Structure 1
Amino acid sequence: MGRGRVELKRIENKINRQVTFSKRRNGLLKKAYELSVLCDAEVALIIFSSGGKLYEFCSGPSMSKTLERYQRCSYGTMEFNQQDPDAQSSYQEYLKLKAKVDILQQSQRHYLGEELERLGSKDLDQLERQMDLALRQVRLTKTKHMLDQLTDLQQKVISYKYVKHK
């Protein structure tokens, strides 16, 4: 049997409000602990009651270290925008190169026959032409190697006959 829905509004009765706060606080702390254990997540939870009492949970080494980490992550983007122009330029260059790498990796997957269902007719035609050209290049290179090997073998046969007749 499921539980009924509770209308989310402030509980007017002070005693009922305190009981609900206590139960829900304990449930929230339990969930934070379970999340940290099950998912190996670093969890920090800070709760202030309406009376100003502090309740906290931290799965990491200390609350202050977790808060420092949080500040570095959340305020890092704001600080980055205020950095010197060289750093911003380098970051923009990084983003461009990352985009190129993503495009090249996508092309590589297409050349390997992966993720083709996403392509339209024009893209598939272009890919087919590129693959045909690549196949011709491979065959030409293979033929050249085979001819070079044949020439080497013919020279060995000639030198073998020369040594044998001496």
Structure 2
Amino acid sequence: MGRGRVTLKRIENKINRQVTFSKRRSGLLKKAHEISVLCDADVALIVFSTKGKLCEYSTDSGYVLFHLSSPPLTFSDIHRYINGSAFDVDFFLR
């Protein structure tokens, strides 16, 4: 018999919330690694805990650091990237 669905609402008990965060964080990191290997995809995952602790995974940390240090993308930048027209040198060099 499978597990039941969890209702998506904030866990009020701080200890239970932290335990759930830790367990789900490791599962999320595992899934990020799996999709990068199975699909040969560049994956970047950044998660901050409620205490501001950073947890990250990336297939290429230099790529992620470059984009984090760049100015934020606009909606039109994201739209061009999704549509595949953003693969010009100027887009990545700004």
**TM-score calculated relative to the size of structure 1:** 0.41
- SS at 1:41's partner residue? coil
Contact 1:60 1:66 in 2 (8 A): no
Structure 1 residue 76: Cα displacement: 6.4
1:35 equivalent to 2:39? Answer: no
Q: Say which structure is richer in strand.
A: 2
The one-letter code sitting in structure 1 at the alignment partner of 2:32 is A
* Structure 2: tracts of 5 or more residues without a match: 81-94
2:49 matched residue in structure 1: 49
2:5 matched residue in structure 1: 5
1:60 matched residue in structure 2: 60
Structure 1 residue 44: Cα displacement: 0.2
The 5 Å alignment of 1:1-166 reads: 1-62=1-62, 63-65=64-66, 67=68, 71=73, 75=77
Contact 1:44 1:66 in 2 (8 A): no
CA distance in 1, matches of 2:73, 2:35: 21
CA distance in 2, matches of 1:36, 1:75: 23
Give aligned-pair identity as a percent: 64
Structure 1 residue 75: Cα displacement: 1.9
- SS at 1:55's partner residue? strand
Are the structure 2 counterparts of residues 13 and 60 from structure 1 closer, same or farther at C-alpha, using a change threshold of 3 Å?
A: same
Larger RCO (CA within 8 A; separation ≥ 6): 2
**TM-score calculated relative to the size of structure 2:** 0.69
